[in-house]
A and B are shown apart, each in its own frame.
Chain A
Amino acid sequence: MPTFNDILIMLPEFYLVAAACLLLLLDAWMKPAQRNILHWVSVLVLLVGIYLVVAGQPDAPVSAFGGMFVRDATAEILKVFMLLCTALIFIFSRPYMVDRKLFQGEFYTLMIFATIGAMLLVSAGNLVMVYLGLELLTLCSYGLVALNRDSPLSSEAAIKYFVLGALSSGMLLYGMSMVYGATGTLALAELHGAVVHAGMSNLMVFGLIFMIVGISFKLGVAPFHMWIPDVYQGAPTSVTIFVGSTSKLAAFGMAYRLLESGMGGMAGQWQMMLAVLAVASLAIGNLVAIVQTNLKRLLAYSTISHMGYLLLGLVNATPEGYAAAMFYAICYALMSTAAFGVILALARAGFECEEIDDFKGLNQRSPWMAFLMMLAMFSLAGVPPMFGFFAKLLVLQSAIHAGMMWLALVGVVFAIIGLYYYLRVVKVMYFDKPVEGQELRPQADGLLRATLSVNALVLLALGLYWGPLLGWCRAAFAG
C-alpha cells in the first residue's frame, strides 16, 4: 500500500498532474480573450513545481512505491532544469503562438504533461517506470509536433516522429523483456545487483543492445537520428525548443538510469558501443550541418553532434563522467533555449525567421538580438569563454580519462568542422547587409526580451563561473 510518505516523495509530480488537470478545466471555461491568464498560471505552476522540487529535496536518495520511483540528487537537478526550460519555453512562445493562432490550452497542458513524463523518466527506479515516463513524454510530444495541424510540414514531421518513435519504443521494450527474462527482475537496483553477481549471458547482451537502440533514438544519436531534422524543422518553433531542451535532459536521465543504475555492471560492454555511436553522431551531425540553409535544420544536425559529445561523457562510466555528461546536457538545454528563443523572438505572423538568410544584417536592425544569438552560437561552437566550451572540456577530459584518447581527438576534429557553420550564422548576422524591405524587429513582449537576454547572458556568465554547477553535478553522482 502506498503510504503518505510515498506521496510526499512524489509530491512535485502529483502536484503537477493536479495542476495540469485544473489547467485543462480552466481552459474549457475560459473565453479565448482570457487565455493570457492561462499562460501566466502555467508559468506559475512550473515555478511552484521548481520550488517543490528544491524544497522537498531529500538528504539521501529515497524511493517510493516499492522502489518504482527514486528521488535522488541526479533526478532533482535534472527536474529543476527541465521545469525551468519548460517555463522559459512558455515565456518565449507566447507571441509566436498568438501570431499563428495556436495560442490554445492544449499547448500548455500537453507541455506540462510531457514535462511530468520527463520527470518520471529521470526518477524511474524500475524498467516499467522508465517505459511509462518515456511514453508519457513522447506521446505528448507527438501531439505537440502536430499542433499546427493545417501545416503539411508539421503533420509530416509528426507522422515520422510517431512511426519511428513507436518503433524505438518497441525495441526498448523488447530489450527490457530480454533483460527481464535473463534476470527475473524489473527493478533497476536489483538488476544492477543481478548483472554484477550473475555475470552476463548472451540474452543480457542482446537486451542491452536493444535498450541502447531505444536510448539512442531518444537522444537522437546517429544512426538513430533520422527523425531529428524533420521534427526540428517541421514542428512549430515553440515545440522544437521543447524537443531540444527539456526532452534532451530527460533523454540523458533515461540513459543514466538504464545504463548505470540498471546495467552498470555491463559498462565494459556498452562503453565501446557508445563510443562508436558518438563518432557516428559527431561525423554525421557536423558534416551534414554544413550544407543546411534552414537554421532550424542546422540546429537539428548540431543537436546530433552535441549528443555525440554527451556520449563522450558517458563512455567513461565513472561518477566524473556522468557528471560531465549531465553538465553537458544542462549546458545544451540552455544553449538550445537561447538559440531557438531568438528565432521565436524574431518570428512574425507569416514569417518564421528560420532560414539562415532571414538573419542577414540582423546587427543593423536589432544589435541586441544579434548579440544574444552570437553568444548562443559561440557557446554551441564551444569557444571560450562561453559555457559550451567548458562543457566540451569536461566531456573531452572524461573521454581521455577513460583511456580513449582517439575519441577525444575525433571530438576536437569535429569541433573544428562544426565551428564553421556556427560562424556562418554569426557572419550572416554581422557581416551581411540586411535584405531591403524586410522587417527584422524582435517581438515587443518585454518579458520575452528580458528572459531571453538573461538566458543568453547566462551562457556567458556560466562560462566565467561554472564551479558551483559542476560541484552540484559531481555531488549528485558522488554518493
Chain B
Amino acid sequence: MFNHLLSLLIWLPIVGAIPVLLAGSGRPGLARWLALLVAVLTFVASLCLLPAHDAANGAMQLAESHVWIASLGVNYGLAVDGISIALILLTTFVGILVIVGAWEVIQDKPHQYMAAMLVLEGLMIGVFCATDALLFYVFFEAMLIPMFILIGVWGGPRRVYATLKFFIYTFLGSIFMLIGLIYLYLKAGTFDLHTLAALPLTMKEQTWLFFAFLLAFAIKVPMVPVHTWLPDAHVEAPTGGSVVLAAVMLKVGTYGFLRFILPITPDAGDHFAWIVIVLSLIAIVYIGYVALVQEDMKKLVAYSSVAHMGFVTLGIFIAFMLVRDANDLDAANLGMQGAMVQMISHGFVSGAMFTCIGVMYDRLHTRQIKDYGGLINVMPWFGFFYVLFAMANSGLPGTSGFVGEFMVVLASFAANPWIALFAAFTLIIGAAYTLWMVKRVLWGEITNPHVAQMKDINGREAFVLIAFAAAVMALGIWPQPLIHLMDASVSQMVQQLAVHKI
C-alpha cells in the first residue's frame, strides 16, 4: 500500500500552487484551470483515505514518520483517525468549491488568489494530519500567511484593519501555546503528541498548559469573548476567504481542543470544563441575540458561526462532565459525536451561506440587508437554495444543522437540564435571525430598482450551490456514514477522558 498518502494530500496543493503562480497574470484562464485541476486531484486523493482507513479502529492510522530535526528529536509525523479524515474531506471538498466560486469573480491577479487558496488548503490538511506538536504548530501558524494575503488583497474597504486584526489576534493566542509546547518538550524530550498524552503532569502544570492551549484555540474557534476578530475578518474577506474561514479554519480551533487539551491536560480540562461550558452557552444565547440585530448579512452569518461553534465546544466539554462526574460514557459519546457532526455540518452550512451572500454581493455590491427585498421575484433558483441553507442554519430537522445540535442538546440534558435548556435556545434564536434575514432579503416587494435587474444564478454558481446543498441534505437525512466514520475514534477519545494523569 502506498503509504505517503497524507504527505501527498498536504503537498499536492502547496506544490501545485507554484505552476498556478507561474501561469501568471497574462494567462488567467490557464491559472484557473490549473488550480481547479490541482483542487480536484487533491479531492480525489482525499477520497482514497476512506478505503485505506479502518473505521473500526479508533487509533491513528496511515502513519508516516520521518526524522525532521535529528538534534531535537522532532519528527515529521503524520497520521489520521476518523475525525481527521472527515475534516480533510471537508477541506478538499470546500477547496474545489471556492476555486469554482472565484472563477470570474476575482479579476485582479486571479493566479495569486488561486495559489494562495491552494497553499491554504494544503496547510489546513497538514493541521489535521500532524501528530507532532511542533509540526502542528507550524501548519497552524503558517495558515495565517495566505489568509492574511487573501483578506488584505482581495478584501473590502476596511480590509487592512480586518486582516491585521485577524493575524495579530490569532498570533497572540498561539504564541503562548508555543511556550507551553516548549515546556512540555523540555519535560518529555519530544514533541510527539502520543508521548505527550502519556506524560504525567501535576495539576498546577496542567492548569497553566490548559489556559495556554485554551487561549490559542479559543481565539481560533472563536469563543466569546475573543471572537471580535471574526466579524471583521468575515465582512472584509472576499467570498472565498469567508467560506474557507468559516467552513474549515474555525474547525482547526476545535480540532486543537481534541488533540491537545483532551489528551494532555485532562484533569485541568475537567476542572475548568465549566468555564468553557459557560462561555459556550454565552456564545449560543448572547451571540445569537447579537446576530439578530445585524444589518450586514456577512456579519450576521459570522455571528451565527460563533453561536454554532459554541455547540462544538459545548459538546466536547460536556463530555468531561459526563465522564468524570456522572460516569455516563454513552451520553459523553453522544455529546462528542454531536460536536463532531456539528463541526462538519457547520462547515457545509456556513460555507453555503457565505457563498450565497457572495452571489448577491457580486450583483449588487452591497451586503446590507435593507438594500435587498423581493429577491425571489427575480432570482427564484437562488431563492430556493438560500431558503434551504437558511433552514439548515436554523437547525431544521432533515438538514445537517439539526443532527449535531440535537445530539449535543441530548447529551447536555444528561449532564444538567439547565445546560440543555440554554443550548436549546438556539433553535428559537437561530430560526429568528436566519429566517428574519430571509424574509427581508427574499420576500416582499422589490423596493430597490437595482434588485429588479438582478439575474438568476448562472451554471457555475448553480454547481457550487448544488454541491453544498447535496452535502447538507445528505448529512441531514442520512448522517450514519459520517457517524460510523468517526465513531471508533470518538469512543476512544471519550475513554481517554476517564484517565487521570496526576
Q: Quick check: A409 and B171 within 8 Å, CB to CB?
A: no
Q: Quick check: A470 and B179 within 8 Å, CB to CB?
A: no
Given known pairs A378-B145, A383-B145, the reply for A430 and B71 (CB within 8 Å) is no
Give the chain A neighbours of B182 by CB distance below 8 A. 393, 396-397, 400, 408
Q: Main SS of chain A's interface residues?
A: helix
A416 at the interface (CB under 8 A from B): yes
Give the chain A neighbours of B183 by CB distance below 8 A. 400, 405
Given known pairs A383-B145, A400-B182, A471-B70, the reply for A415 and B175 (CB within 8 Å) is yes
Output the least CB separation between B145 and chain A (Å): 6
Output the least CB separation between A236 and chain B (Å): 32
Q: Quick check: A383 and B141 within 8 Å, CB to CB?
A: yes
Within 8 Å by CB of B179, from A367, A400, A420, lies A400
Count class of interface residues, chain A: 20 to 34
A61 at the interface (CB under 8 A from B): no
CB-contacts of B456-476 with A (<8 A): none
With CB as the reference atom, state the residue of chain A lying closest to B159.
A431
Bound Cα distance from A92 to B141, whole angstroms: 32
Q: Quick check: A397 and B186 within 8 Å, CB to CB?
A: yes
Q: A383-B144, A405-B179, A430-B153 are in contact. List 6 more A-B contacts (CB 8 A).
A: A389-B138, A396-B182, A400-B182, A400-B186, A412-B178, A427-B163
25 contacts between A and B (CB under 8 A): A363-B112, A383-B142, A383-B144, A384-B138, A384-B141, A397-B185, A400-B186, A408-B179, A409-B179, A415-B175, A416-B172, A419-B168, A423-B148, A423-B164, A423-B167, A423-B168, A427-B164, A431-B152, A431-B159, A431-B163, A466-B69, A470-B69, A470-B71, A471-B70, A474-B71
Bound Cα distance from A467 to B70, whole angstroms: 6
Chain A, residues 387-417, CB within 8 Å of chain B (1/0): the string is 0010001001100110001001100100110
CB-contacts of B131-184 with A (<8 A): 134, 137-138, 141-142, 144-145, 148-149, 152-153, 159-160, 163-164, 167-168, 171-172, 175-176, 178-179, 182-183
Q: Quick check: A467 and B171 within 8 Å, CB to CB?
A: no
B37 at the interface (CB under 8 A from A): no
Give the chain A neighbours of B422 by CB distance below 8 A. none
Give the chain A neighbours of B163 by CB distance below 8 A. 427, 431
A385 at the interface (CB under 8 A from B): yes
Q: Quick check: B112 and A367 within 8 Å, CB to CB?
A: yes
Bound Cα distance from A384 to B133, whole angstroms: 13
Bound Cα distance from A329 to B144, whole angstroms: 26
Chain B, residues 62-76, CB within 8 Å of chain A (1/0): the string is 000001111110000
Output the least CB separation between A455 and chain B (Å): 19
Given known pairs A383-B144, A419-B168, the reply for A470 and B72 (CB within 8 Å) is yes
Give the chain A neighbours of B137 by CB distance below 8 A. 384
Q: Quick check: A396 and B178 within 8 Å, CB to CB?
A: yes
Give the chain A neighbours of B160 by CB distance below 8 A. 427, 431
Q: Quick check: A467 and B142 within 8 Å, CB to CB?
A: no
Output the least CB separation between B156 and chain A (Å): 12
Give the chain A neighbours of B186 by CB distance below 8 A. 397, 400-401
Output the least CB separation between B367 and chain A (Å): 20
**How many A-B Cβ pairs are below 8 Å?**
83
Give the chain A neighbours of B69 by CB distance below 8 A. 466-467, 470
State the A residues within 8 Å of B (CB): 363, 367, 378, 383-385, 389, 393, 396-397, 400-401, 405, 408-409, 412, 415-416, 419-420, 423, 426-427, 430-431, 465-467, 470-471, 474
Q: Quick check: A430 and B152 within 8 Å, CB to CB?
A: yes
Bound Cα distance from A408 to B70, whole angstroms: 24
Q: Quick check: B179 and A396 within 8 Å, CB to CB?
A: yes
Within 8 Å by CB of B71, from A383, A385, A427, A471, lies A471
Q: Quick check: A385 and B138 within 8 Å, CB to CB?
A: yes
Give the chain B neighbours of A396 by CB distance below 8 A. 178-179, 182
Q: Quick check: B142 and A384 within 8 Å, CB to CB?
A: yes
Give the chain A neighbours of B70 by CB distance below 8 A. 467, 471
Bound Cα distance from A219 to B69, whole angstroms: 29
Give the chain B neighbours of A466 by CB distance below 8 A. 69
Q: Quick check: A419 and B171 within 8 Å, CB to CB?
A: yes
Give the chain B neighbours of A383 by CB distance below 8 A. 141-142, 144-145, 171
Give the chain B neighbours of A467 by CB distance below 8 A. 67-72
Bound Cα distance from A396 to B182, whole angstroms: 8
Give the chain B neighbours of A415 by CB distance below 8 A. 175
Give the chain B neighbours of A474 by CB distance below 8 A. 71
Give the 9 A-B residue pairs with the shortest CB-CB distance, closest first: A384-B138, A467-B69, A431-B152, A412-B175, A384-B141, A471-B71, A397-B182, A385-B142, A385-B138
Output the least CB separation between B134 and chain A (Å): 8
Bound Cα distance from A367 to B70, whole angstroms: 36
Bound Cα distance from A471 to B67, whole angstroms: 13
Bound Cα distance from A466 to B142, whole angstroms: 17
Give the chain B neighbours of A426 by CB distance below 8 A. 148, 152
Q: Quick check: B168 and A416 within 8 Å, CB to CB?
A: yes
With CB as the reference atom, state the residue of chain A lying closest to B123.
A385
Q: Quick check: A427 and B185 within 8 Å, CB to CB?
A: no
Give the chain A neighbours of B168 by CB distance below 8 A. 416, 419-420, 423
Bound Cα distance from A467 to B71, whole angstroms: 7
Output the least CB separation between A315 and chain B (Å): 15
Give the chain A neighbours of B72 by CB distance below 8 A. 467, 470
Bound Cα distance from A378 to B146, whole angstroms: 12
Give the chain A neighbours of B176 by CB distance below 8 A. 412
Output the least CB separation between B149 and chain A (Å): 6
Give the chain A neighbours of B142 by CB distance below 8 A. 383-385
With CB as the reference atom, state the residue of chain B lying closest to A427.
B160
Bound Cα distance from A470 to B71, whole angstroms: 7
- Which among A363, A405, A427, A474 has the greatest number of chain B C-beta atoms within 10 A? A427
Output the least CB separation between B23 and chain A (Å): 13
CB-contacts of B282-307 with A (<8 A): none
Give the chain B neighbours of A389 by CB distance below 8 A. 138, 141
Give the chain A neighbours of B149 by CB distance below 8 A. 430
Within 8 Å by CB of A416, from B67, B71, B141, B175, lies B175
Bound Cα distance from A471 to B176, whole angstroms: 27
Bound Cα distance from A423 to B141, whole angstroms: 14
Output the least CB separation between B153 and chain A (Å): 6
Give the chain B neighbours of A401 by CB distance below 8 A. 186
